[in-house]
Chain A
Amino acid sequence: MSPVAFVYLACVLFAIGSAAVLLRRNAIVAFMGVELMLNAANLAFVGFSRLHGSVDGQVMAFFVMVVAAAEVVVGLAIIVAIFRARQTVSLDEPSELKG
């Protein structure tokens, strides 16, 4: 199997993830979209790693996973805090940042 297929798959996954972020109102689902995008990036890293025969991409993927884990903690904490304050996890509800 050509490693290029992994890159195509990563593109598809990235598109699905970004579509979930942009289109879904539910914060949990949007968050899952973010995770999907991150993992699409990971897949691309690993795929390029195979393509070039170096391990740099795989190392980078580990970094992304670590950062993603931390990001999940912060992100979920924010979502929970918003839910406690507003009884909703809709992304369109809070607009305090409106200029």
Chain B
Amino acid sequence: MLDLTWLLIAVPLASAFVLLLAGKRSNGWGHWLGVAASGTAFVVGLLAFLQMLGLDSHDRAHSVHLFEWINTGELNLSAGLLVDPLSLTFVLLVTFVGTLIHIYAVGYMEHDPDRRRFFAYLNLFIAAMLVLVLADSYLLLFVGWEGVGLASYLLIGFWNYRNDYATAANKAFVVNRIGDLGLIFALGLMFTAFGGVDFATVFAGAESASTATLTGIGLALLLAACGKSAQFPLQSWLGDAMAGPTPVSALIHAATMVTAGVYLIVRSAAVFEGAPNAQLVVAIVGAVTLLFGAIVGMAKDDIKKALAASTMSQIGYMMLAAGLGPIGYAFAIFHLVTHGFFKAGMFLGAGSVMHGMKDQVDMRRFGALRTAMVVTWVTFGLGWLAILGVPPFAGFFSKDKIIEAAFVGHGWQPWVFGLTALIGAGLTAFYMSRLFFMTFHGEARWEDGQHPHESPAIMTVPMIVLAVGSAFLGLILATGDRFYTWLEPVTGHAEHGDPVLPIPVIMATTLVLVAIGAGFAWLKYGRADVPLTAPAASLGTIAARNDLFQDSVNRAVFERPGTHLTRTLVYADAAVIDGAVNGTGGGVAKTGEAVRGLQTGKSRSYALLMLVGTLVVAFFAMLGGK
């Protein structure tokens, strides 16, 4: 089965091509083909997983050679897949959550005339994401990396007849491009330093490479990860990416694609081991983003944008964990998996709410939906408890581990990272509870003519499955350290050092902060009335509502100087380069104009000129002869 893992990529890719090429003919059955392709990929992944469980932990890295890809003098690279616990974890997450979201989208997109195209793009995304996680070289990973970027762009701009949506798609594409530049730099550095870009060569070379080289590669990889995972300072595209249909937000911009950066960092563990400074920067980026996302999430009234800010913040946790080194890798991936479940579940819940509220996204116009949408309320509630980290739900096992790991270390780092993670947990509790209470509790603040109703079963069943996952996955996987043992062949066995504070103290503090955050949200948004328009607020709240002015900063720091730079260059090009070229041409033309007067057409004047010329030549010949 492990040798057939190429089917994982081939099936969704073939389905995407069929759907795109068959055109309107497949409108009637296209969405089911999409679901079937994704489902097949999941079954293949599951069989591969079961086979791998039967193997000894030393043999749990299986290479599949596909074909000779690049064959030049210096660089010889074959395209191949690396099936190991880490990639299989992603395969299962992507295909399982992906299939559920495919099913959900059949209902969600039912009235959309372009539903077939939507499924084609979703299949394309699944195929590209699987290339990304299964690749056995950075170059093939880059192919998948670009593929998911393309799918993300196409899906954010799926309703591109709306100008702002098309702009959002462009924004995501451009910001991602900056990150991609990092990956290209990393590829170049790896090739120069190690003479190859496949994982085996790079990881083997990393052991003896200089710290400076590894730091360079690490920082370039971090830039790539920041772009894809919406980490500070490349976070600005994720909020706007919510322009895409909600299933897209759930699958690509919450559960899978945005976590590719974390995958990249964890996969490149060997590089970061030799570059402690780059690793520290990873942790700092994670810590900054987790606060950034949480602060933005506290002020957003758009339910999807609040969830997007939360995604950013949670990926910040994963980055922080990945930046802590070997003790954090497994926790980062664990949180990634549980987050994939509960966040996708909550996004689907938000989609269900929008479905019943005529695409309303302003939480100030929700309220009291728990009676109208019982299934959505319960499933969303389970996701909410999971992200809060309430025991025994999934987030408790994954997030608390990260907080504990953040407190391990020497010097200032455990205090800064640990306290950041701790405060982040409190903020998370506040903004998620705010979102939950504003949507499902309190008074009904619906617009006239709104009759919220529960979504059809085809949408609620995936939500229920994800909610069950949110509730029990953490408990199942964390019991007996199952998940960590499973990942050990990749992440290595790490000695868990002791945190600077006793573990029970950390855990208790976390829970107290969570309770305070949730309680405060209940007082403000559950029990009290929520005004229909956002009230005047302090400077901090205004900043948070405006994404901490990320767009203004980007405009002032990058866009304006960039525009000026290009204008100057264009001017220099026109004045200097073109000036020289055109000047030469113009000079020749002017000379021609002046000289053409001699060309009278009178043969006698030519004869005279000829005679004079001959005489002049004869004169100089005589001078020379002397």
Q: What residues make up the interface of A, taking CB atoms closer than 8 Å to B? A: 18, 21-22, 25, 30, 91-92, 94-99
Could you pull out 18 A-B pairs where Cβ atoms are within 8 angstroms? A18-B611, A22-B608, A22-B611, A25-B604, A30-B604, A30-B607, A91-B603, A94-B601, A94-B603, A95-B601, A96-B601, A97-B603, A98-B599, A98-B600, A98-B601, A99-B599, A99-B600, A99-B601
Q: Are A91 and B602 in contact (CB under 8 A)?
A: yes
CA distance A18 to B613 in the complex (A): 14
- Which B591-626 residues sit within 8 Å CB-CB of chain A? 596-604, 607-608, 611
Q: Are B599 and A97 in contact (CB under 8 A)?
A: yes
Q: What residues make up the interface of B, taking CB atoms closer than 8 Å to A? A: 596-604, 607-608, 611
- Smallest distance from the beta carbon of B460 to chain A beta carbons, Å? 88
CA distance A38 to B597 in the complex (A): 30
Q: Are B604 and A92 in contact (CB under 8 A)?
A: yes
Most chain A CB within a 10 A radius of its CB, from B596, B604, B611: B604
* Contact partners of B598 in chain A: CB under 8 A: 99
* Contact partners of B611 in chain A: CB under 8 A: 18, 22
Closest 10 pairs between A and B when the two form their complex, measured CB to CB: A99-B599, A98-B601, A95-B601, A99-B596, A97-B601, A21-B607, A91-B603, A91-B604, A22-B608, A98-B600
CA distance A22 to B612 in the complex (A): 12
CA distance A73 to B94 in the complex (A): 94
- Smallest distance from the beta carbon of A74 to chain B beta carbons, Å? 15
* Contact partners of A98 in chain B: CB under 8 A: 599-601
CA distance A98 to B603 in the complex (A): 10
CA distance A32 to B603 in the complex (A): 15
* Contact partners of B602 in chain A: CB under 8 A: 91-92, 95
* Contact partners of A92 in chain B: CB under 8 A: 602, 604
Most chain B CB within a 10 A radius of its CB, from A18, A21, A96, A99: A99
- Smallest distance from the beta carbon of A44 to chain B beta carbons, Å? 13
Q: Are A22 and B599 in contact (CB under 8 A)?
A: no
CA distance A98 to B597 in the complex (A): 9
CA distance A98 to B611 in the complex (A): 19
- Smallest distance from the beta carbon of B274 to chain A beta carbons, Å? 75
* Contact partners of B603 in chain A: CB under 8 A: 91, 94, 97
* Contact partners of A30 in chain B: CB under 8 A: 604, 607
* Contact partners of A22 in chain B: CB under 8 A: 604, 607-608, 611
CA distance A99 to B601 in the complex (A): 7
- Smallest distance from the beta carbon of A25 to chain B beta carbons, Å? 8
Q: Are B604 and A21 in contact (CB under 8 A)?
A: yes
20 A-B pairs besides A21-B604, A91-B604, A97-B603 with CB distance below 8 A are A18-B611, A21-B607, A22-B604, A22-B608, A30-B607, A91-B602, A91-B603, A92-B604, A94-B601, A95-B600, A95-B601, A96-B601, A97-B601, A98-B599, A98-B601, A99-B596, A99-B597, A99-B598, A99-B600, A99-B601
* Contact partners of A25 in chain B: CB under 8 A: 604
- Smallest distance from the beta carbon of A79 to chain B beta carbons, Å? 11
* Contact partners of A21 in chain B: CB under 8 A: 604, 607
- Smallest distance from the beta carbon of A85 to chain B beta carbons, Å? 15
* Contact partners of A94 in chain B: CB under 8 A: 601, 603
Most chain A CB within a 10 A radius of its CB, from B599, B601, B608: B601
- Smallest distance from the beta carbon of B610 to chain A beta carbons, Å? 10
Nearest residue in A to B614 (C-beta to C-beta)? A18
* Contact partners of A18 in chain B: CB under 8 A: 611
* Contact partners of B608 in chain A: CB under 8 A: 22
CA distance A18 to B612 in the complex (A): 11
- Smallest distance from the beta carbon of B326 to chain A beta carbons, Å? 84
